[in-house]
Amino acid sequence: MGQGKTKPTYTVTFYERYSDYLLEKSVRASHDKVFAQFANSTKQVQLCVVDLGCALGEYSRYGSYDRYVGVDINDTGRVKPFVKADYTDLGFVHRLPFMPNAFVSLFSIEPMFPPRERYALYNALFERVPSIEYALVGGFFYDGRRMQEMVTETGGLMSYQTIEDPSEYRSKNFSERRIYLYTPSQMFGRDVVEVWKILARRGSVLEPVLRGEKAPTETPGKNA
């Protein structure tokens, strides 16, 4: 599901298996539910999304946006428009076809870096890219191995789990809301708990929603 701190070279076989994984009923139910919540929370704005570690472009196919661009060091040929770049070097922003007001990262940043480094990247994105107002990032942990910082997964991947205490990583730049979903799959097993984080710039229209001060009007998700 993740890729650990050392960026691997994915094989064609891995991408084929991951493509099948994205079609599994339990996976689509969880991911579509989160995508719908993110879309509902940000419906007041035109969402211009940069997808960091886009891989096969799941968000481009199932997520909501007005404009989209994927960024990755591996070009699978599945994502258009696409920028081949290392997203930890924020110089990639100057190569985008538009200035994003949101970034998403589905099981890329969270599994690749330990908490201190991933939050350093999130803060850098909010600080150095002032157009960014929102973010959706996905991580996970294995319920039976939740005390382990790193785990070995299908395909020999070494990945960081999202098990940190959010109170230790409060940011002056953004507020955070978490969603936990059990998401069993053929590829990664039955005890995966996905951890989704919705981030909103402090002072943005979405921040009060994350604090629980008000809620947007509910809209049906893709599977409703």
Q: Is position 1 within any domain?
A: no
Q: Is position 3 within any domain?
A: no
**pLDDT band, very low/low/confident/very high, at 215 (cuts 50, 70, 90):** very low
Which of 6-10, 33-37, 156-160 comes out lowest in average pLDDT?
A: 6-10
- Provide mean pLDDT across the span 161-179: 97
Q: Is position 223 within any domain?
A: no
With a cut of 80, say whether residue 3 has pLDDT above it.
no
With a cut of 70, say whether residue 4 has pLDDT above it.
no
Q: Is position 104 within any domain?
A: yes
Q: Is position 126 within any domain?
A: yes
Q: What's the per-residue H, E or C state across the chain?
A: CCCCCCCCCCCHHHHHHHHHHCCCHHHHHHHHHHHHHHHHHCCCCCCEEEEECCCCCHHHHHCCCCEEEEEECCCCCCCCCEEECCCCCHHHHHHCCCCCCEEEEECCHHHHCCHHHHHHHHHHHHHHCCCCCEEEEEEEEEHHHCCCCEEECHHHCEEECCCCCHHHHCCCCEEEEEEEEECCECCCECCEEEEEEEEEECCCCCHHHHCCCCCCCCCCCCCC
Mean pLDDT of the chain: 90
With a cut of 80, say whether residue 203 has pLDDT above it.
yes
**pLDDT band, very low/low/confident/very high, at 155 (cuts 50, 70, 90):** confident
The CATH number of residue 118's host domain is 3.40.50.150
pLDDT reported for residue 7: 53
Q: Is position 7 within any domain?
A: no
Which domain, by its residues, includes 145? 12-210
- Provide mean pLDDT across the span 35-58: 95
The number of domains in the chain is 1
Q: Is position 224 within any domain?
A: no
**pLDDT band, very low/low/confident/very high, at 8 (cuts 50, 70, 90):** low
> Which of 12-16, 69-73, 202-206 is most confident?
69-73
Q: Is position 72 within any domain?
A: yes
**Structure confidence by residue, pLDDT tens digits, 87-127:** 999 999 999 999 999 999 999 999 999 999 999 999 999 99
pLDDT reported for residue 212: 66
